[in-house]
Structure 1
Amino acid sequence: MVYPRAFLSFDFDHNELHKKLFAGQAVSDSPAPFTVEDWSSKTTLPQSQWEALIKKKMAHTHMCIVLVGRHMATATGVVKEIAMAKELLVPVFGVYVDDAGITSALPVGLQRNRTMAWRWDLIAAAVQQMMGEGKNA
């Protein structure tokens, strides 16, 4: 069985640990079968190379999950990843991490009504919804 692939967008400077925890729990705790690939750039790249690399990786996914932390307002890369996802018709939803919540700033392009608490039942429902949207429809 092939599981849907998720691209994780996160604030590299503040939420790398949360990304690792989320990806690990997705394997062991999630009631929704999906895979998370670690497609983060391992080195600092010139902007144009980074954008080309991320766009290529994003094109091979079924959805983009944005991990919304407390410092999301400074995460310019996340905003670019959301824009790339939308351009490629990759559905996007968000999950609050790092004590962020409904009053936390969201990155441009991420809707509040598509952002939820880190609860696997909610995430499973969102994964199922994403598989009927955008390029998955």
Structure 2
Amino acid sequence: MANPRVFISFDFDHNVTQKHLFVGQSKNSKTPFSIEDWSSKSSLPQDQWESLIKTKIGKCNMLIVLCGKTMASATGVSKEIAMAKEKDVPVFGVYVDGANTTSNLPSGLQRNRTIAWDWDKIAAAIDQLMGEGKNK
């Protein structure tokens, strides 16, 4: 089977650096998945952005949310989580930028599905999610 395709959701205003580090480290990890950088490259009207992102999420096996300390203000992330659920794409979160179990999570992301940035834990979560949602 091909490596799972992952859509990365993150707070563009606060966690771009962590997103770049996560993507870069993923290429050197033993974790079998491929991340596509399908972020919108330009500012779009809301309806165009939603249509574009919904299509991209629908082409993935799962969505990973990079959860920083300012997630409560990241409305786009909450929308991406809702889009993933609508498309039956499983979701889990990874704490970044000093966030932890006491940090706010975006709407729709479960605390028990949010883990530390540890590649063994990420690999286990990917394996688990490959048995859920549209991946069955």
Structure 1 unpaired stretches of 5+:
none
Which amino acid is the alignment partner of residue 78 of structure 1?
V
For residue 61 of structure 1, what is the aligned residue in structure 2?
Answer: 60
Partner of 2:3: 3
Query: Cα distance, 1:32 vs. partner?
Result: 2.0
Deviating beyond 6 angstroms after TM superposition, the runs of 4 or more aligned structure 1 residues are: none
Letter of the aligned partner of 1:85 in structure 2? A
Equivalents in 2 of 1:117, 1:25: separation in Å?
14
In structure 1, C-alpha distance between the alignment counterparts of 2:92 and 2:26, rounded to whole Å: 15
Structure 2 residues not aligned, in runs of 5+: none
Following the alignment from structure 2 to structure 1, what is the Cα–Cα distance between the partners of residues 73 and 64?
18
TM-score by length of 2: 0.98
TM-score of the two chains, using structure 1 as the length reference: 0.98
Give distance in 2, aligned partners of 1:4 and 1:27: 13
What CA distance in whole angstroms lies between the structure 2 residues aligned with 1:91 and 1:23?
19
What are the superposed Cα offsets for residues 83-116 of structure 1, whole Å, 9 maximum, x if unpaired?
0000000000000000000000000100000000
Aligned position for 1:27: 27
| 1:16 maps onto 2:16 in alignment | yes
Deviations 1:20-76 (A, max 9, x none): 1001111102x2200000000010000000000000100100000000000000000
